[in-house]
Amino acid sequence: MIMAVPERMANVLSTIEYLDADVRVVLDQRRGGNPWATRAKGLESFIGEHGWVLMLQDDVVVCRNLMAACDAIAREATRYCFVSLYASSRCVRELRHNTYRSHRYLEVSDWVSGPASMIRCSEIPSLLEWADRNVPAGYINDDHVMGRYCSTHSPALMVLPSLTDHLDTPSTVHARGMPKRKATMFVGEDFDASSLDYSMPDEIPHLVRDPRRPRSFVPVASSSRTGTLAK
């Protein structure tokens, strides 16, 4: 699934071709976009399905054989409902330290990657019901919504190194001032993600997000689920 605004459809089509897979595109026609509303609308279409959903934003950069890597990760992540495929030290402060970069996985208590992540299909109804009760109308930050959900349910898994990155372009969400929207340790577009070892270690470090990130929901735009599914 790719969440998209019209001005980034060229990158969406390029990503789909690179993935070489059937992808559902959820279009957001609103100026600037509303990431959470668009994500929620797309996830509704997977309710009742089995397995996992790969969730990508329209400004993501992926490596080769990402789908094969996702399949391997899904087989290992039996204890988790969310997996982040984008690693950022801006959001998870411990990634600034080389100690943690040597691990295959990190467990994060309250953050899920907005640019690229996976969710178990069976968890989608619970997430959407929780969001309807707890997320105020007008909230747009999808990574924050998913992170807050994980903080009250179960931690998310983060894959290292980062299998995705951001395009070197500004955010289309005008209320956000987000410099340095780049992955901390991206493997590169030409890297074969299926070549990595995704087996689950006996112990995984448990981290918390950067304390500077807000812990309360602050509405800034409409959050109704009005995205449009595109084939």
Structural domains present in the chain: 2-230 (3.90.550)
Does 25 score more than 60 pLDDT?
yes
**Residue pLDDT, tens place only, 114-129:** 999 999 999 999 999 9
Q: Which residue has the higher pLDDT, 94 or 203?
A: 203
The pLDDT of residue 185: 84
**Residue pLDDT, tens place only, 192-220:** 999 999 999 988 988 766 555 545 444 33
The pLDDT of residue 135: 92
Residues 6+ apart with CB under 8 A from 105: 157, 158, 159, 160, 200, 201, 204
Does 150 score more than 60 pLDDT?
yes
Q: How many percent of the chain have pLDDT more than 90?
A: 54
